[in-house]
Structure 1
Amino acid sequence: MFFTYPIAATNDNWLSSTLLDILQIALMALQNGQEPLDFQGSVPELYESEIARGRKFPGLYVAFVDACRPLEANQRDLILSALAGQNQFPELFAVDAPFHSIAEAFPAVHQATRSLFEYAFEKLSDLRTPGTDETVRARYHYLVHAHFEGGCCPFCGLEIMEAPDPDLVDPDLDHYLAASKYPFAGANLRNLTAMGTTCNRSYKGAQDILMDELNQKVHCFDPYGNEHVALSLDGTVLLPGAGAGPAWALTFDPDVESRNWRRIFKLESRIRANVLEKQYQTWLKHFITYAHRNEIDIAVKEGAIEAIAKFKATCDMESLPTVARLKSSFFALVENALNDPAGGDRMHNFLVEVA
């Protein structure tokens, strides 16, 4: 990821944690040969009035308990392990973290869990943290938007997300780990990420971000962690010859750790087609205009070097973070080529022709 979410945005995680506690208590009652409490009797007093507004919760809870009731004790232990394991953030992102799924072994329990937490996810847009006037989702949206200086999707850095405004539609709130596979995490804010519509609907969808195309566990970024990816055009050949445009090379650092993220969101293809091929000639025009307006004569090589150095410093002011990185890297390559004793004249002639 190019940047990550503020952990403070997950502070109002009470709905997920409350439901998980209720299910765990019910499972432990069954393990001890006791009848689980009814749903209303399990809800902490602090959240009673809010959760009562979710009218489907009691029935969905009963369906979960009924699905677990006929299981053997050792089978319910596996359900308890999945409940905890699917919510063990950020440890479950590690390559060697165990895989906790009950979809194949206990399909009835899996479906009951999925139904409960899909409903809980919907209610994030309706329920409020006690003592506040905002819904859980609205508060989350506000904190995330305030944290992202440019209001841009951190998965691509190419799409502006809607601001928190009652007249606007909230951005997509994506299940980082798909609710279809990890239902116990279906309402956990630690597993939810505000995401650009294109990234969410056109690329990620319900793909399992923990697995590669061969269904092997791979490194996964923690969206609320501190691991960020650097992007550059190092290795790009600007003037390959025969009138061809640049031979683009995209360098991501770290490389191996970012490969699955790049694959899922098709970043290389999107960046090449939508940014580099589409915009690099416009960038050159921006540079020429900048030089003219600042009365720098790029017909002289020293003038071109001066103009490039000054213009490059403005490139990181682009509003889209990925465009800013690419544009800065592009003109860093142009600057290096101009200062190259062997190829500087060729690059200078190219810029003069563009002008």
Structure 2
Amino acid sequence: MLIADKKADLAGPGIGSYEEIEQILPRDYQSLLSRKDTQRAIRAGKRFIEDHLCEALKLMMVEVPLIVDKHSGVNDYLDRDGSRTPVEFFISNDRGKNPIEAQVVQAATKWKRVALKQFEMQPGEGLLTDMRAVRKDYFLDHDHSAYVDQWDWELAITDKERNLAFLTDVVKKIWKVLKDTETYLLKEFPQLKDKRYPELPEELTFIHAEDLLARYPDLPRKQREMRILQEYPAVFIYGIGWTLADGYPHEMRAPDYDDWVTETISKDGRPMHGLNGDILVWNPVTKRRHELSSMGVRVNAQTLRQQLEITGQLDFLKLPYHQAIINKELPLSIGGGIGQSRVLMLLLRKAH
């Protein structure tokens, strides 16, 4: 495989052009639900997921901002190369006395950790948000939009819980909520039962990005994901962001929220890296990979500095958010985002 293919595949949806999208999406697709029932199912699914996520992870629902101060450092840049920039605008506040350079959030990842402190969350307590964002630089396809809706969650943890076993336990709890939601929606809307579209498996298959590369060394990462999902229809891929054996990360990740640098040990004793990962499933409607969630243990003072050094972004340490982590003023945490439209697209058997 050409090196250029791997470089091009480090970010983005994995469909190279709109012409390719046109060829890939099903032409004989018909919705199993009417427009009215679709809206009813969306509302029912959202309520079920929010209630059961809060119960499973001990979270409380909180409101989340749409706009943040550009200079606070809490907005999300999504990757490490600065190619996905936020929508910005100027607010002339108090007749020009306190002007604000504002940004529309791209995600609430860093804001949530600040909110844990503001809400005085103790280890084992956390928050869940119904987040809306704008990502103007996204390549748009059947499951990527410039308008983003996510359940963004964050849980305060102890230093001893910053490990792979704790991450895995949280992932399993989230997966159970998603699986239970499917069961609930199939009961409430039996027209969703269709032999063409098998139900989600009871359990996820867990695999490290390094092992996925070793399994399919000649494939770019999105094709590796496609291949593993044809064998195991629901997977969690650990260790996204660290440079793998081929010299490239599975995908570029920003250096200031997920911890992708911490060393871990595989079951057979090999050194690995990363306390984060993604839930991906096989979508039987679109016949493609379908990412549902990205999550991870968050950086501490040490790993933030390490990751910023690796990415050449140590200047971020001047920002208030990053200073708060370095000075240990923010809680240790684990958190993630679950795509609302993506989850419901999958569970309601939608092609777009």
More helix, by proportion: 1
What TM-score comes out, normalization by structure 1 length?
Answer: 0.22
Structure with bigger RCO (C-alpha 8 Å, 6+ apart): 2
Return the index of the structure with the highest Cα Rg. 1
What TM-score comes out, normalization by structure 2 length?
Answer: 0.22
